[in-house]
Structure 1
Amino acid sequence: MNAFDDPELQELADRLASPDPGLRRVAVLDLVDCPEPEAVTLLIQALRDPDPQVRQEAAKVVDEFESEDMADALIAALNDSDEVVRNAAAHALSDLKDPAAAKPLLAALEESRDPFVVAGILRALKSLREPAAREPALARLNAADPGVRREAVGLLGWLKEESNLPALIDRARDDDDAEVRRAAVGALVYAEPASVAEALRYVVGDPHWQVRAEAMNSIGKLHHQDSLPLLIEATRDNTWQVREKAADAIGKLGRVEGIPALGECSRDAMSNLRKAAIGALGAIAHEQCRPYIQTALDDPDPDVRKLARWAQSKLSAA
Structure 2
Amino acid sequence: MAHGRILLQTPVRSAIRYQPFALVFLLIALGGCVQSPEPNHPDQVVARLTALLKDPDPVVRRTAALSLGKIADPGVVVALREGLFDPDEIVRQYSAWALGNLGESAIDPAGLVLVQQLNDPSPAVKAAVAQAIGKIGATQGMVELLGEALDEADPATRRAVVQALGWLESPSAYQMLLDALTDEDAAVRQGAVAALGELGDGHALPAIRQRLLKDPDVGVRSEAAFRLGKLGDDSLLPMLQFISAKDEDARVRRWAAWAVTFLTEGSANSKT
TM range (shorter): 0.7 to 0.9
Q: Which digits, 9 at most, give the CA deviation of each residue in 1:189-233, with x for residues without a partner?
A: 22432x112211221121221111110111111023332233223
TM-score, structure 1 length as denominator? 0.64
- Tell me the matched-pair count: 240
In 2 relative to 1, CA 134–250 (structure 1 residues): closer, same or farther, beyond 3 Å? same
After TM superposition, where is structure 1 displaced by more than 6 Å over at least 4 residues in a row? 9-12
Q: 1:86 aligns with which of 88, 92, 108?
A: 92
Q: Which residue of 2 aligns with 1:184?
A: 192
Q: Contact 1:126–1:158 at 8 Å: present in 2 too?
A: yes
Q: Which residue of 1 aligns with 2:151?
A: 142
Q: 1:16 aligns with which of 31, 56, 74?
A: 31
Aligned partners of 2:267 and 2:177: how far apart in 1?
Answer: 36
Q: Which residue of 2 aligns with 1:290?
A: none
Task: Flag the structure with more relative contact order, 1 or 2, with Cα contacts below 8 A and sequence separation at least 6.
Answer: 2
1:175 aligns with 2:180: no
Q: 2:211 aligns with which of 170, 182, 203?
A: 203
Q: 1:70 aligns with which of 57, 72, 76?
A: 76
Q: 2:105 aligns with which of 92, 100, 103?
A: 100
In 2 relative to 1, CA 118–106 (structure 1 residues): closer, same or farther, beyond 3 Å? farther
Q: Which stretch shows the higher mean deviation, 134-143 or 223-232?
A: 223-232
Aligned partners of 1:129 and 1:113: how far apart in 2?
Answer: 15
Q: Contact 2:118–2:161 at 8 Å: present in 1 too?
A: no
Amino acid at match of 2:250: W
Q: Contact 1:47–1:58 at 8 Å: present in 2 too?
A: yes
Aligned partners of 1:170 and 1:138: how far apart in 2?
Answer: 10
Q: Report the alpha carbon displacement of residue 131 of structure 1 after superposing the two structures with TM.
A: 3.2
RMSD, aligned α-carbons? 3.4
Q: Which residue of 2 aligns with 1:243?
A: 253
Amino acid at match of 1:177: D
Q: Contact 1:131–1:159 at 8 Å: present in 2 too?
A: no
Aligned partners of 2:152 and 2:178: how far apart in 1?
Answer: 16
Q: Contact 1:32–1:61 at 8 Å: present in 2 too?
A: no
Q: Which residue of 2 aligns with 1:59?
A: 65
In 2 relative to 1, CA 59–161 (structure 1 residues): closer, same or farther, beyond 3 Å? closer
SS of equivalent residue, structure 1 residue 235:
helix
Q: Contact 1:162–1:191 at 8 Å: present in 2 too?
A: no
SS of equivalent residue, structure 1 residue 211:
helix
Aligned partners of 1:92 and 1:241: how far apart in 2?
Answer: 36
Amino acid at match of 1:247: A
Same amino acid, percent of matched pairs: 31
The structure with more radius of gyration = 1
- Superposition pairs of residues 238-277 of structure 1, within 5 angstroms: 238-254=248-264
Q: 2:221 aligns with which of 206, 212, 217?
A: 212
Q: Which digits, 9 at most, give the CA deviation of each residue in 1:225-276, with x for residues without a partner?
A: 332233223324333332232222112211xxxxxxxxxxxxxxxxxxxxxx
* Structure 2 unpaired stretches of 5+: 1-23
